[in-house]
Amino acid sequence: MSKTTKLNPKQLKLWANIVSIAIPIVVAILFTVRLPNVEPLSFLPPIYAAINGITALKLIAALISIKSKKILLHEILMKTAICCSVVFLLMYVAYHMTSDPTPYGGEGASRLIYYVILISHILLSIIVIPLVLHSYLRAYLGDYKAHKKIVKYAYPVWLYVAITGVIVYCMIYPYYT
């Protein structure tokens, strides 16, 4: 592609779809990989849990900023929330490529609650990828009407994923070795 060639909206949407499919597949494949002779990155879970918390706070601040018509602040907060989510994902995958899974040790109702939160968190973290990419893409292209339509779904799902990421960490923390 030459420097003067730009992707048109249709191409950008195609790339968003490709990335939305590729990320969960690549993550699933990487979860089957164990890096030999690499020290477990056991220090990462509290860091990536904190990043999830920061993402949630940025999302809330971004909502407040757009409601206050502070568009540039909203844009900055959303871009940093996306960056936080990418950093989280990289750390999460790195941890799981170097460490054995930590089984949840709770019993009874807490076990059921943990798995309901964990499974919904995982499933929605896959769904949120195309929602975030397409809502960002619509804003980038200046199609704010379409952006708002997607954000109605993207925002609560992304906020849920960020918050439940912290909750899952807090619930499994006592069982890390």
Query: Tens digit of pLDDT for each residue in 62-98?
Result: 999 999 999 999 999 999 999 999 999 999 999 999 9
Would you say residue 4 has pLDDT above 70?
A: no
Q: What is the pLDDT of residues 18-60, one digit of tens each?
A: 999 999 999 999 989 999 889 999 999 999 999 999 999 999 9
What percent of the chain clears pLDDT 90, i.e. is strictly above it?
Answer: 90
pTM: 0.91
Rounded Cα–Cα distance for residues 169 and 164 (Å): 8
Confidence band for 177, pLDDT divided at 50, 70 and 90:
confident
Which amino acid, residue 7?
A: L
**Residue 24 CA: distances (Å) to CA of 14, 35, 170:** 16, 20, 24
Cα 90–chain centre separation: 10
Burial of 51 (0-12, 13-18, 19+ CB in 10 A): buried
106: Cβ contacts below 8 Å, ≥ 6 apart: 114, 171
Residue 5 has pLDDT above 90, yes or no: no
Neighbours of 162 (CB within 10 A): 26
